[in-house]
Amino acid sequence: MVDDQAVSVCAPATTLADELVRGADALGVALTTEQRSRLLGFIALLVKWNRTYNLTAIRAPERMLTHHLLDALAVLPHLPQRAGLRVLDVGSGGGIPGIPLAIARPDWQVALADANHKKAAFLMQAAIELRLPNAQALAMRVENLKPAASYDVVISRAFADLATFAAAAAAQQAPHGLLVAMKGVHPEQEIAALPPEMRVLAAPALTVPGLGAARHLVIMQRAPGTVSR
């Protein structure tokens, strides 16, 4: 597994570790020492692979911590908490939010789907190096997925507008599953453009420690008795 020392090449590991502890505490997300180590290891992998694969426009590890890790962890309190949850991260790219969710909840099964084969290769390597048997990288478009079972939560960040996301991902959603979109400002126009069978259950504002920007979740569910198109 990648250890904390790998991060020190770019920034003091103790500083990042302290910021991670403070941020997770502020979010109400409990992390073990091993989980914190894996999250810091994930930053090290992002830094390393980003030099060649351009996974994220953010280069500094301390900004990766706030803009990626804590942004992803802020979602956790708003998701179902039961063990065995099946989660699909659509357009996972650099692994946000899927990999932090898989680290924080080893009792969940997290699929990371991205049609870009280089990004999917990173996701696969990250799951191996971080020792995440509950994370699976899928190099394909969400519309082409044929999982053995549908997903309890289908989540995305910066994948598409809400209507496009719902149309692409609804077929992967379990009958009572949720579609969850990570957004910046409250997307009123996108919500208004959703098809009638998609119901918005909640759109909570999130406060991400150190981010200093508007963040919202849009939590949706297909109305009972309707089918995906």
- Stretch 193-210: mean pLDDT: 95
Indicate the pLDDT class of residue 9, thresholds 50, 70 and 90: very low
pLDDT given at position 13: 52
Indicate the pLDDT class of residue 19, thresholds 50, 70 and 90: very high
61-114 per-position pLDDT tens digit: 999 999 999 999 999 999 999 999 999 999 999 999 999 999 999 999 999 999
Q: What is the 3-state secondary structure (H, E, C) of the chain?
A: CCCHHHHHHCCCHHHHHHHHHHHHHHHCCCCCHHHHHHHHHHHHHHHHHHHHHCCCCCCCHHHHHHHHHHHHHCCHHHCCCCCCCEEEEECCCCCCCHHHHHHHCCCCEEEEECCCHHHHHHHHHHHHHCCCCCEEEECCCHHHCCCCCCEEEEEEECCCCHHHHHHHHHHHEEEEEEEEEEECCCCHHHHHCCCCCEEEEECCEECCCCCCCCEEEEEEEECCCCCCC
Indicate the pLDDT class of residue 51, thresholds 50, 70 and 90: confident
CATH of 4-222, one of 3.40.640.10, 3.40.50.300, 3.40.47.10, 3.40.50.150: 3.40.50.150
Spans of all domains in the chain: 4-222
174-190 per-position pLDDT tens digit: 988 999 999 999 999 99
